[in-house]
């Protein structure tokens, strides 16, 4: 039994869900999101709750049960609160700034990196060494943050690079004389 899948997703006030086939569409104050579930689960919407049940006892049905329930929960969270990832930049001369719909990164490369921001995500730079990625789609927010981080991952000797806020980087000792 999936402990996550058993719990129904509560729809807060101001949020509505509609079901057509295996596709659920959730509308809220921050927009509309949809998710198409596999045929291994059954989605039902009744009295401000969305419940997910497996079709059968197969391993795949049980895997999709918890995952589908989490995806529906992320839709509800996304249209009410939204998702946020914070990145911090460490390194001498490393900085970021927004120019229109482009994030300009100085990361010690021979050129500046111009990172175009996709639709559905907002990126802000409160300081030159901080980047905040926000949006209603959890997968898109996480992917954009990971793509920004990939330009200069934190290295283990000095810790320079782009890291998630609060991320621990295992530090290595340099070579000895």
79 vs 3, residue with greater confidence: 79
Instruction: Look at residue 129 in the predicted model and tell me its pLDDT.
Output: 94
Residue 174: the pLDDT is: 87
Q: How far apart are CA 154 and CA 60, in angstroms?
A: 37
Split into its structural domains, the chain has a count of: 2
Averaged confidence pLDDT in the chain: 93
pLDDT tens-digit map of 77-88: 999 999 999 999
The residue count of the chain comes to 177
CB 141 within 8 Å of CB 173: no
Percent composition of the chain: helix, strand, coil (DSSP 3-state, to 5): 20, 40, 40
Instruction: Please identify, among 80, 106, 140, the residue that sits at the C-terminal boundary of a domain.
Output: 80
* Residue 174 domain-assigned (yes or no): no
75: which 2 tokens?
């839709």
154 sits in which H/E element: none
Sign of CA dihedral 138, 139, 140, 146: positive
Residue 5 scores a pLDDT above 90 = no
The answer to whether the beta carbons of residues 128 and 96 sit under 8 Å apart is yes
The reply to whether 135 and 150 lie within a common domain is yes
Rounded Cα distance between 126 and 72, Å, is: 31
Domain extent, residue 37, equals 3-80
Residues 63 and 114 in one domain: no
Asked if the model's pLDDT at residue 47 lies above 90, the reply is: no
Dig out the tokens for 61 from the structure.
Answer: 């049905």
In this predicted structure, the answer to whether residue 23 has a pLDDT above a threshold of 80 is yes
SS3 assignment, position 71: helix
Residues 135, 151, single domain; the answer is yes
Last residue of a domain, one of 80, 97, 112: 80
Contact 56, 70 (CB under 8 A): no
**Residues 148-160: tens digit of each pLDDT:** 999 999 999 999 9
Give residue 177's pLDDT: 80
Q: Report the pLDDT value the prediction gives residue 39, as an integer from 0 to 100.
A: 92
Locate the DSSP E strands across 37-145: 41-46, 49-54, 83-90, 95-99, 102-106, 113-116, 121-124, 130-135
Of 58, 80, 102, the domain-final residue: 80
Query: Which residues are bridge partners to 168 per DSSP?
Result: none
Residue found under tokens 């900085």: 95
């Amino acid at each position: 039994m999936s402990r996550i899948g058993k719990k129904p997703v509560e729809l807060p006030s101001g949020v509505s869900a509609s079901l057509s086939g295996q596709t659920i569409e959730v509308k809220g104050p921050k927009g509309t999101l949809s998710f198409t579930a596999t045929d291994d689960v059954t989605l039902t919407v009744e009295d401000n709750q969305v419940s997910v049940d497996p079709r059968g006892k197969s391993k795949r049905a049980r895997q999709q049960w918890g995952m589908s329930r989490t995806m529906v929960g992320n839709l509800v969270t996304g249209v009410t609160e939204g998702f946020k990832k914070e990145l911090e930049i460490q390194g001498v001369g490393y900085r970021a700034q927004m120019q229109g719909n482009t994030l300009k990164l100085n990361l010690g490369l021979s050129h500046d990196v111009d990172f175009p921001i996709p639709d559905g995500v907002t990126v802000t730079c409160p300081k030159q060494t901080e980047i905040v990625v926000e949006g209603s789609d959890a997968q898109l927010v996480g992917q954009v943050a990971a793509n920004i981080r990939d330009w200069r991952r934190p290295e283990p000797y000095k810790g320079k690079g782009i890291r998630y806020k609060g991320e621990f980087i295992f530090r290595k000792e340099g070579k000895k004389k």
